[in-house]
Amino acid sequence: MDHYYWFALKSVPGVGNVTFRKLLEAFETPERVLKASVNELARVKGISPNLAASIVTHEYRRIADLECEAVARQGVIIVDFLAAEYPKILLQINDPPPYLYVKGKLCGSETSVAIVGSRRASTYGLMTTERLAGELALNNVTVVSGMARGVDTAAHRGALKAEGRSIGVLGCGIDIVYPPENRPLFKEMEEKGALVSEFPMGTTPLAENFPRRNRIISGMSQGVLVVEAVQNSGSLITARYALEQGREIFAIPGNINSSNSRGTNLLIKQGAKLVEEVGDILEELHLPTAPAGQAPAPAFSLTPQEAGIFTLLAESPLHIDDIIVRSELTVPDLSAILLRLELKGAVVQLPGKHFSITK
């Protein structure tokens, strides 16, 4: 029942990821949001009278009860965005999920590269994917992909064969195995890495879910490698999200006569880094080209207001005066939040009273 009110608030029509976070910054817990009056809710910036009324009148109990039962029955872990295990890099995107459904283990901070590509990849594409994923894993890089047929499956398998970590981001509920032939891979991912989803339990793999899923694949990664993609494919959608999120984009060059190469070759024309070997990725991301053996940065939890400031600074470093204006906090409150974030290693103060997230 720990996340009963999280499920409840997320079920309110009109409460998306951004609104959810704003409400938590104002009320600190989802339970307080749901028990607030219309007038209290309407005082939050961006909350219309209609939405405030919708929150107050929404009948959430049955939805939240069923979700709690399903989560407990399947042994799913809920990692909310205040938890130490929530990937802090994901907080840097415009609309991070307020919580993730997880099987396996998440780390608050790890170096990750996404590998995406065609579901109908060639033998060349699959072999190249598996080799590069394995080499990334050997260099302490977590491989992120979408558990789909083709390149995604090869990416996960390559990382696991090298005894590395891999994260699978699903376009359905975490209790749904899709595609069904990947059931053994799902089990191995749960044991050696992680499966994650933002979709409620039981959500079927509808086509409209996958573009939303793709923004999390890129959002959890420092860079995205595209291997074989036709034009207008889901892999290119992931690359667009990566560009919007300020991530590095990599592509494998392909045969000019193959339709599967048109997407990757186009990305290279547009400035994506051409990749022939794993060193091309490691160099661009300023990572060592051999296993460093270093422990990941310590994970840290956040309060709702700390998460708000962290997300604000993830966009770009800001002067303290600009943070005050954009956060609408008082100077003493903001100073206390910044100090706590510095002590947690989440934020660093730069010369001239500027602040930035720790890279």
pLDDT tens-digit series, residues 104-146:
999 988 999 999 999 999 999 999 999 999 999 999 999 999 9
Residue 132: inside a domain: yes
pLDDT tops 70 at residue 159: yes
CA-derived radius of gyration, the chain: 21
Pairing mode, strands 77-80 and 99-104 = antiparallel
Domain boundary among 255, 284, 313: 284
Q: Kindly state whether residues 273 and 198 are assigned to the same domain.
A: yes
Q: Kindly state whether residues 145 and 26 are assigned to the same domain.
A: no
Domain boundary among 27, 54, 73: 73
Distance CA 359, CA 343 (A): 15
Question: Which H/E stretch holds residue 175?
Answer: none
Cis-peptide, bond into residue 179, ω within 30° of zero? yes
Count of structural domains within the chain: 3
Domain span at residue 156 reads 103-284
Q: Tokens 């558990």 identify what position? A: 147
End-to-end Cα spacing for the chain = 35
CATH number at residue 41: 1.10.150.20
Q: DSSP string spanning 273-330?
A: EE-SSHHHHHHHTT--SS---PPPPPP----HHHHHHHHHHHHS-EEHHHHHHHHT--
Residues of the chain above pLDDT 70, percent? 97
Q: What is the pLDDT of residue 215?
A: 96
pTM of the model: 0.90
Q: Kindly state whether residues 107 and 172 are assigned to the same domain.
A: yes
pLDDT tops 70 at residue 347: yes
CATH number at residue 342: 1.10.10.10
pLDDT tens-digit series, residues 314-334:
888 999 999 999 988 889 999
Average pLDDT, the chain: 92
pLDDT tops 90 at residue 298: no
- 233-250 mean pLDDT: 91
Give the model's confidence band at 192: pLDDT under 50 very low, under 70 low, under 90 confident, else very high: very high
pLDDT tens-digit series, residues 30-81:
999 999 999 999 999 889 999 999 999 999 999 999 999 999 999 999 999 9
Contact present, 121 and 29 (Cβ < 8 Å):
no
Residues of the chain above pLDDT 90, percent? 77
Residue 154: inside a domain: yes
Q: What amino acid occupies position 56?
A: V
Q: What is the pLDDT of residue 296?
A: 58
Residue 292: inside a domain: no
